[in-house]
Amino acid sequence: VVAVLASVSSARGAPAAEPGQQQQQQQQQQQVVVLSDELNHASIIDGARLAARAGGQVSLQVYRHNDMGHLESLLAAVPSGTRCLVITDSLFSMDGDFADLRGLVALKRRYGFLLAVDEAHATLVCGANGGGAAELMGVGPDVDVHIGTLSKAVGAQGGFVACSSQVR
């Protein structure tokens, strides 16, 4: 998922830079902040930690579980022009609760980050068409990156990452 950020020119939709501003803007565009729910699955945590250690351009921040106020305070502190990714499980396997996807979408509209939702435990279990918790909560189109596995409800090997061609 962090690799998706590398191909996105700007999650905040900044206007084109003047020639004198290009170098500064390029430096800012290289910076990525990943904000992760503290109860995300270990695979998400490990991937985000590895990305943060890899090159120094990715920083990882963890927000308290389902605490939209805490997440908003972290988002407000992110410098303008920095690309942001908020990633969460949709259905937390250990506690059995859902992410506040509606709250995340409201924050996304305000702060302009990319939203990635891991539907591993909700695919084919939640939603009228089995589209997961995002479908169930009516926010599927607002999620930028849908991630899932075929090894749970489908009973097969493999997984998927689904996004728009613009994000891809």
Catalytic residue among 121, 146, 151, 165: 121
DSSP symbols for the chain: -HHHHHT-S-TT-PPPPPGGGHHHHHHHHH-EEEEEETT--HHHHHHHHHHHHHHSSEEEEEE-TT-HHHHHHHHHTSPTT-EEEEEEESB-TTT-PBP-HHHHHHHHHHH--EEEEE-TTTTTTSSTTS--HHHHTT-GGG-SEEEEESTTTT-SS-EEEEE-TTT-
Asked about 93 being catalytic, the answer comes back as yes
Asked about 9 being catalytic, the answer comes back as no
Catalytic residue among 41, 65, 70, 152: 152
Catalytic residue among 93, 108, 146, 151: 93
Asked about 151 being catalytic, the answer comes back as no
By annotation, the residues acting in catalysis are 93, 121, 152
